[in-house]
C-alpha cells in the first residue's frame, strides 16, 4: 500500500457555500482580536484572516465571512517535533522525517516512477507527487487519477508527460524532461511538474534553492513554487518568466510582484542556473534574492509568507503553470536551510 504522504488539503473555497445567516458571517466591521493578517487584494477587497483560520471581507462597514482559509489545528494534526527533528504524520500515525535539505541530480533512477516515495522505508527519497494537468486531465480528480494509475503501472501518459532523458549537451548526463501541451480556453493553466511535501519552512526560516533549467520549446510561466498545502489555494512565493526574464511573485494576498531590471534574459536551447534565497516573513522585512548563472537579478525585501503561522511545506518544480505548449529540462537541484 502506498504511503500517503501526498498532502491532500480539505480547506476549499466556500464563497458559494457559506451560510449568510451564520452567527459569525456578518459583523459590524472586522476587528483586531485574533487577527493574523489584513491586506487589500489587487481588486481592492479588504481581507482579514484570523487565528481560527477564518477569512472575512470588510465592505461598507460590514465584516462578512468568506471562507475557512485553513484548519487551525493543521500543525498538530500533521507534524511531530522532538529531539530527533520534525516529522510528518503519515498513514495510520507513522512518522516520516521532513527534509528541508536535499540534493537531486537524477542519476540514480532507472525510470521516472523511481523518484517517488511509496513506503515508510523510502527515507532516502524526496519527491512525493507529480501533476499532469492538461485538456485530457483538466480537473484535480482527473490528474490525480492519472497520477495514481501511472504510479501503479496500469496506464501511461496521455498528452503531458515527465521523462528521464539524456542531456542534449552531455550524453553522459541524465536529466528530467517536462512536456506540457497548452491549456484549453476554459482552463486556467496547464502543468507538468513534480513536487515534494517534505519541506518545513516557517517564519524566520531561510531557504536556498538552486537548479539548472533548459527551455526546449515554448515558455512556461512558472518554474519553481514554494507553497503551503494546508491553506486554501496553496499560497506561497514563486519564480516566474515574464518577457523572457526571470521574476518573482507572491501567489497570495496583495500579490507582490518584483520585476527583474537587470537586463539579463533567458534563451531557448541553453542551460541556465537559477538560484533563489528567501528569508520568510509575512511583513515587509522578508528577503527575496535571485541569481541567474551567478549574476544577481533580484535583491529585495518584502512579504513572502502568507501568514505568520504558515508552513511552506511544498516545493514544486517544472512546468508548474503555462498558457502555451512547453518543454523544459531540469537538473542538479539542491535545496537547503543554509547558504551554499
- In angstroms, the CA 261 to CA 297 distance is 7
Q: Is the pLDDT of residue 323 over 60?
A: yes
pLDDT at 13: 34
What residues contact 45, with CB distance under 8 A and at least 6 apart? 57, 59
Per-domain residue ranges for the chain?
Answer: 99-336
| C-alpha cell belonging to residue 73 | 489545528
Residue ranges of alpha helices (H) inside the chain are 74-78, 140-152
CATH code at 99-336: 2.60.120.200
Rounded mean pLDDT, 280-290? 98
pLDDT level of residue 19 (50, 70, 90 thresholds): very low
Q: Grid coordinates 525510470 are at which residue?
A: 111
> What is the average pLDDT score of the chain?
92
Residues 45 and 57: their CA atoms lie apart, in Å, by: 7
pLDDT value at position 91? 81
Mean pLDDT of 184-213: 98
Output the pTM of the full model.
0.91
Mean pLDDT is lowest, of 17-21, 67-71, 142-146, 182-186, for 17-21
3-state secondary structure of 113: helix
| The pLDDT of residue 17 | 33
Amino acid at each position: 500500500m502506498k504511503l500517503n504522504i501526498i498532502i491532500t488539503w480539505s480547506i476549499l473555497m466556500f464563497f458559494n457555500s457559506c451560510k449568510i445567516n451564520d452567527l459569525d458571517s456578518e459583523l459590524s466591521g472586522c476587528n483586531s482580536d485574533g487577527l493574523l493578517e489584513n491586506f487589500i487584494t489587487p481588486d481592492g477587497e479588504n481581507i482579514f484572516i484570523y487565528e481560527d483560520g477564518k477569512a472575512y471581507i470588510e465592505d461598507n462597514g460590514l465584516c462578512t465571512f468568506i471562507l475557512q482559509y485553513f484548519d487551525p489545528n493543521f500543525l498538530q494534526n500533521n507534524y511531530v517535533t522532538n529531539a530527533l527533528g520534525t516529522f510528518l504524520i503519515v498513514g495510520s500515525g507513522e512518522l516520516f522525517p521532513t527534509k528541508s535539505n536535499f540534493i537531486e541530480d537524477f542519476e540514480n533512477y532507472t525510470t521516472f516512477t523511481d523518484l517517488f516515495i511509496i513506503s515508510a522505508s523510502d527515507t532516502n527519497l524526496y519527491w512525493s507527487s507529480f501533476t499532469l494537468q492538461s485538456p485530457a486531465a483538466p480537473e484535480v480528480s482527473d490528474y490525480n487519477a492519472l497520477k495514481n494509475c501511472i504510479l501503479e503501472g496500469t496506464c501511461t501518459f496521455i498528452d503531458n508527460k515527465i521523462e528521464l532523458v539524456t542531456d542534449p549537451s552531455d550524453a553522459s548526463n541524465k536529466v528530467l524532461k517536462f512536456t506540457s501541451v497548452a491549456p484549453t480556453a476554459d482552463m486556467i493553466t496547464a502543468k507538468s511538474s513534480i513536487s515534494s511535501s517534505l519541506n518545513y519552512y516557517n517564519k524566520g526560516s531561510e531557504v536556498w534553492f538552486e537548479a539548472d533549467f533548459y527551455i526546449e520549446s515554448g515558455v512556461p510561466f512558472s518554474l519553481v513554487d514554494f507553497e503551503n498545502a494546508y491553506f486554501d489555494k496553496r499560497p506561497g512565493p514563486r519564480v516566474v518568466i515574464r518577457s523572457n526574464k526571470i521574476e518573482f511573485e507572491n501567489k497570495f494576498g496583495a500579490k507582490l510582484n518584483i520585476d527583474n531590471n537587470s537586463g539579463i534574459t533567458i534563451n531557448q536551447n541553453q542551460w541556465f542556473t537559477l538560484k533563489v534565497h528567501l528569508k520568510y516573513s509575512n511583513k515587509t522585512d522578508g528577503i527575496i534574492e535571485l541569481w541567474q548563472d551567478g549574476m544577481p537579478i533580484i535583491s529585495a525585501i518584502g512579504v513572502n509568507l502568507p501568514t505568520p503561522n504558515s508552513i511552506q511545506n511544498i516545493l514544486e518544480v517544472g512546468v508548474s503553470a503555462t498558457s502555451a505548449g512547453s518543454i523544459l529540462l531540469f537538473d542538479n537541484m539542491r535545496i537547503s536551510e543554509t547558504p551554499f
